[in-house]
Structure 1
Amino acid sequence: MANAFDFVMTEHAAWLPTDDGWQRVFVSPDGGRWLATVQGGTFKLDALRNEMTTPAHDVFTLSNNVADKAPELATALRGLGSVLRFRNADLWDAISMAIIRQVIRAGQSKKLYRAFCEAYGERITLPNGGTYALFPTPETVLSLSSEQFSSIGMAFKRRPLMAAAEAYREQGAKWRELAPDTLIAELQTVPRIGPWTAHAAVADWSNDWSLYPYADLAVRTWAKRAAPSHDWPNDEPTFGQTWRALAGEHLCSLTLLTLAWGSQHGDIG
């Protein structure tokens, strides 16, 4: 089948490097397990269990209006071509990843996420005989001692993850039925989940990147690196206003594509 995209985004810590690409196990809402493998601009899906619902994905392309307002940025982003990104169907994982990303750099958050999976997550046997560790369930997180968190450098994430696990165990089913905007508000009722965390989690889960905190350090950094000659504001509020004006009706695709460009050029917290 010919690809309708040029690049697969693998920025989430659940994507693990292989000898020739990336792999990730997705858990679908109906309990299905799918192994996604990516090599360059192609991907393959293998059903591991309950193959009813395949992982959802969306393809993003750059709108023409960006080239008129920021030609240097448009040139950089068009170098990606069309970008495919899988949605994170596991809302609990999306919330947890956003919590782990709080305050620290993206590279460090990936190390912590993967170490937590390896230590306490369910292990999935892969077709090649290897294994893959999922993120621990809310029940597992609630059962862990402070020493178990500390043993892998996660002591400072214990309280927010446990608060989120308790809330998700009670309200997760309801949350998964909410509209993204409503879900963002609901998540912020959980202790230690603020606007950035709620917006980042829901963007990961829904693939609506107009909901991402698009004036954060990652977007500001990659925009400036992709288009260093453009007159970018230095402060977050003014950058946000500039970004919205630049994107127009295409805030979702511009934000996602900028983060995708950045995923090829390093990690920013």
Structure 2
Amino acid sequence: MQSFSTADAAVLHAALAARDARFDGRFLVGVTSTGIYCRPVCTVRTPRPENCRFFRHAAQAESAGFRPCLRCRPELAPGSASIDAPSRLAQAAARRIEAGELDGEGAGLPALAARLGIGERHLRRVFREAFGVSPIDYAQTQRLLLAKRLLADTAWPVTDIAMHAGFGSLRRFHALFRSRYGLSPGRMRRGAGSGGDTLRLALALRLPFDWTALSENLLQRAWPGIETGDADGRLLRTLRIGTAQGWIALGPPDLQAGTLALEVSAGLLPVLPRVLDAVRRLADLGCDPQAVAERLGPLAAEAPGLRIPGSVDGFELAVRTVLEQQVSLEAARLLAGRLAAAFGDPVDTPWPGLDRLFPQAEALAGLDVDTLAGRVRLPRRRAATLIRLADELASARLDLGPSADPDATIARLQELPGIGPWTAHCIAMRALDWPDAWPEGDRVLGRMLGDVPAAEARRRAEAWRPWRSYAAQHLWRQASLPPRRP
């Protein structure tokens, strides 16, 4: 496991004393005199250096015997980007655990290891080397912190909170909560909290954050019947995860607090960890704008809060990208609307016109080319690409989740007919949450770099590693601006 050195400790204590928000989510501090661990932005009196122990994540701090602070609430700290991981394999396992893949019936380490293509023993070893705790300890910390948040922010019964946080046993939840935090779940409540059938949360983000650019980008590509916006500046969309279905409302942000509003319908609460993971990917909440700006330099200076518009579902994003090949965004949306109307299942929402779920891969995998091409009015070649893509996802030969290996997935995508480097890298950028994709052959990128060929554009983009996805986003943004007056 990567640990902090003595020199690191001095820097981290200085950041703690300054309550430097740039370090929030980068480390936690355990205070030996109190037995509590805090975020670097905590407003309590700064502890003495000799009383501080620094940790990279909450599971590590709790494994060392520290309890989370009730004032700064470590469960609210912003997340990190995939590129920050000490091990891709360990990070893939951690992302799956955070999304609740060790919760519920049929879940467990053997199944998780199999999905990652490794043995259970190897998973335990690489995970402990990367994070300093076992996968089970990591999962328990994630469940406890989510339960702690729900206790503070909702008026739900403790039984419901235990279930939504991923605990299969109420007795186990009470016992683990008491042993880790030293008090009962009921005593953790901060007040009445929010009631009702939906859940409202504030998700942490790092500033600067350009919600306007992000939401406009997403709404330009919005699937008719599946995504829309409202007068309050929120992004509304339907969502299906497994057998759970419903809707989410995202935004707008509170930039002073550094949070983004989220509302989740009752139908999605049984898969809440997976919903939160999907929303973080959709809004790119793991982005570290400071690190991106330092690498991109002048390219990012005019829009330092720009984010990658992500996706809640890899198959949906892949289909969207294929439909956008060599056509306008408006034409692609027209095709997407026909696809959703023909093959998407109906769902109830509070908003007229927002009434379809995106079709599952299984719904397209069994189609013949003429049926899909005829109902959506697609070219046969493109219909064949979508059917092959759906078949790969439905048969689990292809993984388009954020924990998939980017290089292997990009290579596998390009083996499919109708998918080249541009499509594969756009999918990696937005579905795999990969910050270092480069959509090779993109004519706008080549033009913005001086009308250079694809090979030269790729060579110049090397200077922006490991944030080439953000470089592409900034170049696309600049290309969309009106010409400057001399």
TM-score of the two chains, using structure 2 as the length reference: 0.44
1:161 deviates by 0.9
After superposition, the Cα gap between the structure-2 partners of 1:46 and 1:110, relative to the gap in structure 1 and judged at 3 Å, is same
* 2:329 is the alignment partner of 1:106: yes
Match of 1:236 among 447, 451, 454: 454
SS in 2 for 1:36: strand
> What letter matches 1:179 in structure 2?
D
* RMSD across aligned positions (CA): 3.4
| Paired residues of 1:116 and 1:152 also in contact (CA < 8 A) | yes
Match of 1:7 among 203, 211, 226: 211
1:45 deviates by 2.4
Q: Which residue of 1 aligns with 2:467?
A: 250
Q: Which residue of 2 aligns with 1:36?
A: 249
Q: Which residue of 1 aligns with 2:445?
A: 219
Match of 1:199 among 389, 402, 425: 425
Q: Which residue of 1 aligns with 2:236?
A: 23
| Paired residues of 1:123 and 1:134 also in contact (CA < 8 A) | yes
Cα distance in structure 1, aligned partners of 2:330 and 2:253: 21
Cα distance in structure 2, aligned partners of 1:128 and 1:175: 30
Q: Which residue of 1 aligns with 2:373?
A: 149
Match of 2:280 among 53, 56, 60: 56
Between the aligned residues of both structures, percent identity stands at 18
> What letter matches 2:331 in structure 1?
Q
Cα distance in structure 2, aligned partners of 1:63 and 1:115: 40
Number of aligned residue pairs: give it: 249
TM-score of the two chains, using structure 1 as the length reference: 0.74
Alignment of 1:131-170 (within 5 A): 131-141=354-364, 142-143=366-367, 146-147=370-371, 149-156=373-380, 157-170=382-395
| Paired residues of 2:249 and 2:264 also in contact (CA < 8 A) | no
After superposition, the Cα gap between the structure-2 partners of 1:180 and 1:23, relative to the gap in structure 1 and judged at 3 Å, is same
Cα distance in structure 1, aligned partners of 2:370 and 2:472: 37
Cα distance in structure 1, aligned partners of 2:300 and 2:400: 36
After superposition, the Cα gap between the structure-2 partners of 1:41 and 1:95, relative to the gap in structure 1 and judged at 3 Å, is farther
Cα distance in structure 2, aligned partners of 1:89 and 1:252: 18
1:195 deviates by 2.4
More strand by share: 1
Alignment of 1:111-130 (within 5 A): 111-128=334-351, 130=353
Using CA pairs below 8 Å that are at least 6 residues apart, which structure has the higher relative contact order? 1
Q: Deviations over 1:94-126 (max 9, x none)?
A: 221222122323332222123311332122221
Q: Which residue of 2 aligns with 1:227?
A: none
Q: Which residue of 1 aligns with 2:413?
A: 187
Cα distance in structure 2, aligned partners of 1:262 and 1:198: 22
